[in-house]
Amino acid sequence: MYFYSYFHTLMKKIRVLIVEDEPIIAADLEDRLTEMGFEIVGQSASGEQALLLFEKGNLDLVLMDIQLEGALDGIQTAQKMLAKQPLPIIYLTSNADDATFNRAKNTLPAAFLTKPFRGKDLQHAIELAISRGTPTQQPTTSNDEKSDTYLFNDRLFIKVKDRMLRLFLNEILWLEADDYYCKLVTREKEFLITQTLKQMGESLSGIPEFLRVHRSYIVNLSHVEEIGDLFVLIHKKQIPLNKSSKEELTVRLKKI
């Protein structure tokens, strides 16, 4: 059994959009988040500009000031974003009056930070935002309270030390049982996560690309290169195939 101590350097960073009309605060946020290991996809001082950056897609999180330049405030901007794609939003504001808070609360934000805030508060808010999911979709996890893995529609977030790291599901070739852990294999690397294969199987049960073909293996059918009587071939590896799983495999392949 082994673990890659440099795990966090091998996965894609969480992509964050900063929407803040105070240049000094926006620059400070970018510095802090970069130091924490996040990727900043852009800064915006207005809701209108933020929506243009949002339309480019592939965001994981938005830090949203409520008072912005332009016709849209942060809450209105968040409403327009959430109408198109559920994603975690953390509000930042120096105005914490009840009316503003109640408006923001209706969008089901991941967190609400009042300026000035400490770096640790920001870090904790981001961790909670990722672990709790989005307003319209809760993350899928096992019943293990110590679980550090959070599954969304197309990506997996894993808690490593003091940060959440992202891996897209389509990058996973297969998962393999490893005692009380689970080995996750991509084309480049193998990672060990603190869930059993059974727990991961339960989490992935609603995703047709993933099928448990053997008591020790779950495969991503999108990467299957060859199907034999007793195995499937993925990336030069023959993975054992139960006879009972072969029929289900054929049915699934027709759906993806």
- pLDDT, tens only, 11-47: 467 889 999 999 999 999 999 999 888 899 999 999 9
| pLDDT band of 206, cuts 50, 70, 90 | confident
Quote the distance between the C-alpha of residue 237 and its chain's center.
Answer: 28
State the average pLDDT over residues 228-237: 93
| pLDDT band of 148, cuts 50, 70, 90 | low
pLDDT of 12? 61
Domains delineated in the chain: 7-132 (3.40.50.2300), 170-253 (2.40.50.1020)
pLDDT of 26? 92
- pLDDT, tens only, 85-122: 888 999 998 876 778 888 888 888 888 888 888 888 88
State the average pLDDT over residues 142-165: 64
pLDDT of 140? 41
- Of 241 and 246, the one with more pLDDT: 241
pLDDT of 136? 41
pLDDT of 139? 40
pLDDT of 96? 65
Tokens of 27: 């620059």
| pLDDT band of 3, cuts 50, 70, 90 | very low
- pLDDT, tens only, 47-98: 999 999 998 878 889 999 999 999 999 999 999 999 888 889 999 988 767 7
- Of 215 and 127, the one with more pLDDT: 215
pLDDT of 7? 33
Q: What is the C-alpha to C-alpha distance for residues 250 and 227, in angstroms, rounded to an integer?
A: 10
pLDDT of 251? 82
| pLDDT band of 132, cuts 50, 70, 90 | low
